[in-house]
Structure 1
Amino acid sequence: MKRINELRKIMAEGQIDGQIVHSPVNIFYLSGFTGTTATLYITQDAAYLFTDFRYLEQASEEAAGFEVIPVRKNSLDILAGYFAGADKIGFEEQFVTVSYFQKLLELKSKESFIPCSDSLAELRQTKDEKEISLITEAVKIADQALFKTIPRIKEGVSEQEIAVHLEFEMRKAGASGTSFDFIVASGPRSAMPHGRASEKKIAKGEIVLLDIGAKYQGYCSDLTRTFFCGEPDQKFRDLYQIVLEAQQAAIRAIKPGIQGKEIDAVARKIIAEAGYGEFFGHDLGHSVGLDIHEKPGFGSKEETRLEPGMVITVEPGIYLQGWGGIRIEDMVQVTKNGVKVLTQSPKQFIISD
C-alpha cells in the first residue's frame, strides 16, 4: 500500500477527496491488477477496484488492499454512491474520452472533477528497488537478443526479418512482449529516427540502425545500436565517433540535482560544435518504466531535477537525409552518487558482413 499512501499525500496537498484511476498502466502500478477492464477509486480511507464478472476472481487475487466491486461492463452508474461527500475528485484527463467524461458529468458537476494526470505521472518518476530489478531484466533481455541477432545483420536480409528474429529471441529469454514496434532502418531509411522495419533488404555499404526494447513483467527497456554492412567509410566512422563522444559525455554528467536540460545541452554542444547541430532534432532521452516514454526526460526545456531511482535513456543522434542516420542509446539509472549504465551491449559492434 506504499504507493497508495504516496498518492494520498498528493491528494491531501491538492485537497482532492477522491481519485479515479482509468489508465491500465496506472491501475497496475497502484493495485497490481493486470486485467484490461477496471476503474480505481481511492479516498483517504478506502481503495476500490470496479470491474466486471470476467475479472472478479483475478482482481481479488492481484489487488491486495482493494475492495473489489462488481459492475456491469463499462457501467459508471455505481460510482455515484461512492462520490457522496466528495467535493473534489481527481481524474486522468489524458486518458478519458469525451464520452466518458460526459458520463461522469451525469454523476457530479463539472467543477467537482480536477485533472490529475501529471500528479500520477510524477508519482512514477522514481523507481523502487523491485522496479529497477524488473527494468534491469528487461534491459538484459534486449541486450541478449541483439547479441544473438548480430550475425543476421548482413547483405540480402530484410529489415522485417531482423525485427522478427529480435522479438523471437526476446520471447525465448522470457519477455512478455516488445516495448514498441522495433525500428530497423537501413541505408537512407536510417535517417528516419522512427523508421519502422520494412521489407527492404540490407545492401552492402549501408548503415543499419536498430532501436529495440523488451517488456518484462510490465516494465520496458530501450536500446539503440548502429551497424554498417561491410567496411565503413571515413564519413561513417567520423560521425559515429561524434555521436559516441556526445553520449559518453552526457552520461558522465548525470547526477542527482541536475536538470534534464543541462544533460541535453552537454550532448547537443558536442554535436553542434562538430557542425551537425541541425541534424540532431530530438530530445536526448526520456524516462522508461511501465511505459516506454515517461517523465522526466532529457530535453532542452526539461527543468525537472534528477533524483536517485530515475531510469532514463541517453540517445544522441545525427540524421542526414539521403545518406543515413547514427544513434546510440543506453538506459541509465540515476544513483545517489551519480549514474549506473544498465545497458551492456558493446558500442563498437559497428561492422557486419
Structure 2
Amino acid sequence: MTTIKLLPLSVAGRDVLVRQRLEQAANNNVTSLLVTDLNNIRWLTGFTGSAGTLFVRADDMVLIVDGRYGDQSREQIKNSGAQCSVIEGRSATELREGVLRTTKDLKRVGFDPAEMTVTAHETMSAQIGSELVKVSGVVPHLRRRKSEPEIQRMEMAASATDAALSEVEPMLVLGLTERDIRDELDYRMRKHGAEFTSYDTIVASGPNAARPHHRPVARKIVEGDSVVIDVGGLVDGYHSDMTRTYLIGEVDPVLSEMHEVVSASQLLGLSHVRAGVLAQDVDRQCRDFIAEAGFGSEFSHSTGHGVGLQIHEMPWVRNGFAEPLEVGEVVTVEPGVYREGLGGVRIEDLVVVTQSGCRILTHTKKDRKCLQFQLTT
C-alpha cells in the first residue's frame, strides 16, 4: 500500500461564515450560536472528542469540555487553526458554571433543533443565562461544499474501498456466507488505509437483496443470486460510499432486466450532476427512467445524499430538495430496484460536483460483464 500524506486541513475562518449566516437571518436578532452536534463542532474547531459544547459568539468561540478532553481539545484547536478558547470543567458544577460564564452577556443564543433532544434543550435552558432561539441548519449548510483537503480524505477512503472490493470479488463464487464476505471487506479496507468502515457493511444476497439496508447473515451465496455490496471507509473523519450488485451464474431474467435498468438509470443520473442543477432533478431523471421501465414502485429510496463528516448529510438528492448543487459538494448517485422474494439491484458512486459535471471518486467496474460470476462450488 502506498502511503499518501494528508493535506493540512485548516478550519480557520469557518466561525466567520457562521456569523455571516446568522446576520442573514437578522430577523431573529441572534448573534451567537450554540453547537452541540459533534460533527459540527469538529468542522468548526478540529476537536474530535465524544463530548463538548461550543458557543460561537459575536467575536470569538468557546468550547466547554469535561476533564477527559482538556489537553486534547487545546491541542486539536491549535493544530486546526481555529480561534477558540477552552473551558475545562472537572465536575458537573464546573461545567454549568462554564456555560453560565460564557452566556452571561448574551441575550439570545441560537440553536439548531435538529441537534438537541427535548431533554437536552430543557437542561440547557435551565443552565444558560440567555434565551434560546431556534435557528435551523446554519452549520450543515456551510458543510456542504468541501475543501480540497476534505475531498482528498474522501478520495483516499474511496480508494481503500475500491482496493478491498477488488480483492473480495473473486470470493463471491466460493460459496461463502454474507458475513464471510463482510468480514473480508472490513479487514481489507483497513489494510488499504481506511481507519474504520463508514457504516455496517451491507452484503445482501438472494431474497435478502430486496432489503436496501439488510444486515449480513450466515446465508451462503448460491447460483442465481444477486448480491448487493454497499461498503464505505473512513479516513481522518471523512467517509466514502459505494455499492455494486453482482449476479451469480444464471439468474432470473427479471433480475437481469433490473440490473440493466438500474445501470442505465445510474449513468443517466451521473450525466445530470453538475453545479446549478437542482438536486431533485437528478433524482427525477433516475426515477422517471426506472418508472418508464416498469419498476417505479420498486425504487423505494432517494437517489442520493451528501457525504462528508457524516455518511448522510446535505445536500439530499431526492424529490422536494429544490436547491441547486454547488461546486465542491460530494454526493452519491445510487438508484435501486428491489423485488420481494427475488432480490435487488443497487449501483452507487461517490462524486464531486464540478462546474461542468462531476468527478467520480469510486472506480470499481460496474458494467454487466464485470459484475457477473460463475459459481465454482
Given the alignment, which residue of 72, 77, 85 partners 1:63? 77
TM-score by length of 1: 0.95
Q: Does 1:107 align with 2:127?
A: yes
Cα deviation code 1:78-120 (max 9, x no counterpart): 211221221221223222233322222223478x212234111
- Structure 2 contact 255–344 (Cα < 8 Å) conserved: no
Residue 88 (structure 1) aligned with residue 108 (structure 2): yes
2:309 to 272, 277, 290: 290
Tell me the secondary structure at the aligned position of residue 208 of structure 1. strand
Q: How does 1:37-186 map to 2 (within 5 A)?
A: 37-64=51-78, 65-73=83-91, 75-108=95-128, 112-186=131-205
Partners of 1:76 and 1:104 within 8 A in 2: no
Q: Deviations over 1:125-146 (max 9, x none)?
A: 1111111111111111111111
Residue 209 of structure 1 contacts residue 326 of structure 1 at CA under 8 Å; is this kept in 2?
yes
**Cα shift readout 1:294-317 (whole Å, capped 9, x = no counterpart):** 011111111011110111100011
1:1-353 aligned within 5 A: 1-14=12-25, 15-64=29-78, 65-73=83-91, 75-108=95-128, 112-348=131-367, 349-352=370-373, 353=375
Q: Give, in angstroms, the shift of residue 43 of structure 1.
A: 0.8
Unaligned runs of 5+ residues in structure 2 are 1-11
Note closer, same or farther for the CA distance 1:334–1:87 as it changes in structure 2 (3 Å cut).
Answer: same
- Long gaps (5+) in structure 1: none
Task: Report SS of the residue matched to 2:87.
Answer: strand
The letter for the 2-side match of 1:131 is E
Indicate conservation of the 8 Å contact 1:179/1:292, yes or no: yes
Q: What amino acid sits opposite 1:314 in the alignment?
A: V
- Offset, 1:279: 0.7
Identity of aligned residues (%): 35
Alpha-carbon displacement from aligned partner over 1:64-90 (angstroms, at most 9, x marks no partner): 321111113553332112212212212
Deviation for aligned residue 1:13: 2.3
Partner of 2:363, secondary structure, is: coil
4+ long deviations beyond 6 Å: none
Determine the C-alpha separation between the residues in 1 that align with 2:126 and 2:232: 42
The answer (yes or no) to whether the contact 2:178–2:219 under 8 Å persists in 1 is yes
Q: What TM-score do the two structures reach when normalised by structure 2? A: 0.89
Distance in 2 between the 1:316 and 1:263 partners? 11
Q: Within 1, Cα distance between the matches of 2:119 and 2:261?
A: 50
Query: Per-residue deviation at 1:332?
Result: 1.0
Residue 8 of structure 2 aligns with which residue? none
1: CA distance, partners of 2:128 / 2:153: 40
CA–CA separation in structure 2 for the residues paired with 1:136 and 1:261: 25
- Number of aligned residues: 352
Partner letter of residue 191 of structure 2? K
Q: Distance in 2 between matches of 1:229 and 1:155?
A: 11
1:291 Cα offset (Å): 0.4
Amino acid at match of 2:116: V
1:253–1:263 CA contact under 8 A, matched in 2: yes
Conserved? CA contact 2:209–2:343, under 8 Å: yes
Contact in 2 for aligned 1:155/1:201 (Cα 8 Å): no
2:19·2:31 contact (CA, 8 Å) conserved in 1? no
Deviation, 1:231, is 3.4
User: What do the CA deviations read for 1:5-26 (whole angstroms, capped 9, x no partner)?
Assistant: 1112112223322211111111
Q: Would you say the 8 A contact 2:64–2:98 is kept in 1?
A: no
